[in-house]
């Protein structure tokens, strides 16, 4: 069996408020951004601050806040779509920077909004197979470095941040069974087309999509309508499959922490699956959508606010870029 033993997170120092965005885009209003997106401010990585830097800071907070000795770590996994280098793996650099034993395994994996859940699934497999005993799972993303300065929609949504989680053979939340899924046919709905091997050089190309949003090859593009429809179609099925696989009903689930995409989408989703407001986590006012880190940040926040208490069963789910999705149940120990 595998458990979550500790969670910490790091947010960059620089904060961009809605007032800052309105100064650049006066056709918007502060209330409009806050009401639709659910975000009042977001943290943005410094120009010279990488996902690896943020991952290191999140891990060091984890060690300090929970009295964890890095010498006890025997595997490192880093979820990021903005690695420090194409190679080597940023996780290998973190092994050295964090003073983790060289006998530890380490790798990066490229995934976005469902990355936290996928990481928990892999960490659970490593522990249950006896390959590792203490897995340091880190999520870290600097999407703001991929956004065009005039992309007011995505700049209002995304924040940068990192989270660190220790998965072990004991802890405060037992990790139950998983449901994972992928639909690569929707890959173009959330994509950065240039910079890697398929299209290594910038093209400067941009077109207007069917929602009159500009699709720039050299910057992150998100088809908001398509992602919205994907979420409302996929997540209710994911919820039902999770309940069935874990032999549960909705009455057995005490709380839900889903990927914090945006408030409008989450509220629509909550109504479709008929989850009471008091059992459904939404809090991205000061962080925005931090991609793979939203679920870990949400879990820690909900525990600190006592929305999650010992003895509760909590459903977590991630969904988005890939397209991909995943979920599991966390059984908090009494």
Give the pLDDT of the chain (334 residues) as one tens digit per residue. 999 999 999 999 999 999 999 899 888 777 777 777 899 999 999 999 999 999 999 999 999 999 999 999 999 999 999 999 999 999 999 999 999 999 999 999 999 999 999 999 999 999 999 999 999 999 999 999 999 999 988 999 999 999 999 999 999 999 999 999 999 999 999 999 999 999 999 999 988 877 777 889 999 999 989 999 999 999 999 999 999 999 999 999 999 999 999 999 999 999 999 999 999 999 999 999 999 999 999 999 999 999 999 999 999 999 999 999 999 999 999 7
pLDDT of residue 83: 97
pLDDT of residue 334: 72
State yes or no: is 206 an active-site residue: no
State yes or no: is 113 an active-site residue: yes
Q: How many residues does the chain have?
A: 334
Single out the residue of 70, 47, 49 nearest to residue 59, CA to CA.
Answer: 70
Residue 164 structure tokens:
């660190």
pLDDT of residue 41: 94
Domains of the chain with bracketed CATH:
3-171 (3.40.47.10), 177-191+221-332 (3.40.47.10)
State yes or no: is 148 an active-site residue: no
Q: Which entry of 79, 92, 113, 165 is annotated as an active-site residue?
A: 113
Q: Which entry of 18, 134, 189, 289 is annotated as an active-site residue?
A: 289
Which three-class secondary structure string do you get for the chain?
A: CCEEEEEEEECCCCEEEHHHHHHHCCCCCHHHHHHHHCCCEEECCCCCCCHHHHHHHHHHHHHHHCCCCHHHCCEEEEECCCCCCCCCCHHHHHHHHCCCCCCCEEEEECCCCCHHHHHHHHHHHHHHCCCCCEEEEEEEECHHHHCCCCCHHHHHHECCEEEEEEEECCCCEEEEEEEEEECHHHHHHEECCCCCCCCCCCCCCEEECCCCCEEECCCCEECHHHHHHHHHHHHHHHHHHHHHHCCCCHHHCCEEEECCCCHHHHHHHHHHHCCCHHHECCCCCCCCECHHHHHHHHHHHHHHCCCCCCCCEEEEEEEECCCEEEEEEEEECC
Decide: pTM greater than 0.85.
Answer: yes
pLDDT of residue 30: 72
pLDDT of residue 293: 98
pLDDT of residue 26: 83
Q: Which entry of 43, 92, 165, 259 is annotated as an active-site residue?
A: 259
């Amino acid at each position: 069996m595998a458990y979550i033993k500790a969670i910490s997170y790091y947010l960059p120092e620089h904060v961009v408020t809605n007032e800052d965005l309105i100064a650049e885009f006066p056709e918007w209003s502060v209330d409009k951004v806050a009401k639709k997106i659910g975000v009042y401010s977001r943290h943005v990585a410094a120009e010279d601050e990488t996902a690896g830097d943020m991952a290191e800071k999140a891990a060091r907070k984890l060690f300090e806040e929970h009295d964890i000795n890095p010498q006890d770590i025997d595997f490192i996994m880093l979820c990021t779509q903005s690695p420090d280098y194409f190679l080597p793996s940023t996780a290998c650099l973190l092994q050295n920077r964090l003073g983790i034993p060289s006998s530890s395994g380490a790798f990066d994996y490229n995934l976005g909004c469902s990355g936290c859940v996928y990481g928990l699934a892999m960490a659970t497999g490593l522990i249950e197979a006896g390959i590792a005993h203490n897995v340091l799972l880190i999520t870290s993303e600097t999407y703001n470095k991929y956004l065009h300065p005039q992309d007011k929609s995505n700049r209002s949504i995304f924040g940068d941040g990192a989270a660190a989680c220790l998965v072990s053979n004991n802890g405060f939340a037992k990790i139950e069974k998983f449901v994972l899924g992928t639909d690569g046919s929707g890959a173009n709905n959330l994509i950065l087309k240039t910079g890697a091997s398929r299209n290594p050089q910038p093209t400067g190309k941009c077109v207007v999509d069917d929602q009159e949003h500009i699709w720039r090859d050299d910057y992150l593009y998100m088809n908001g309508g398509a992602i919205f429809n994907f979420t409302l179609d996929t997540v209710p099925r994911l919820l039902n499959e999770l309940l069935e696989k874990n032999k549960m009903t909705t009455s057995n689930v005490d709380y839900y922490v889903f990927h914090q995409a945006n408030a409008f989408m989450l509220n629509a989703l909550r109504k479709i699956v008929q989850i009471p407001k008091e059992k459904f986590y939404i809090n991205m006012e000061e962080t925005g959508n931090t991609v793979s880190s939203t679920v870990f940040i949400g879990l820690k926040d909900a525990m600190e606010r006592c929305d999650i208490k010992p003895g509760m069963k909590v459903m977590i789910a991630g969904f988005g870029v890939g397209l991909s999705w995943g979920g599991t149940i966390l059984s908090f120990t009494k």
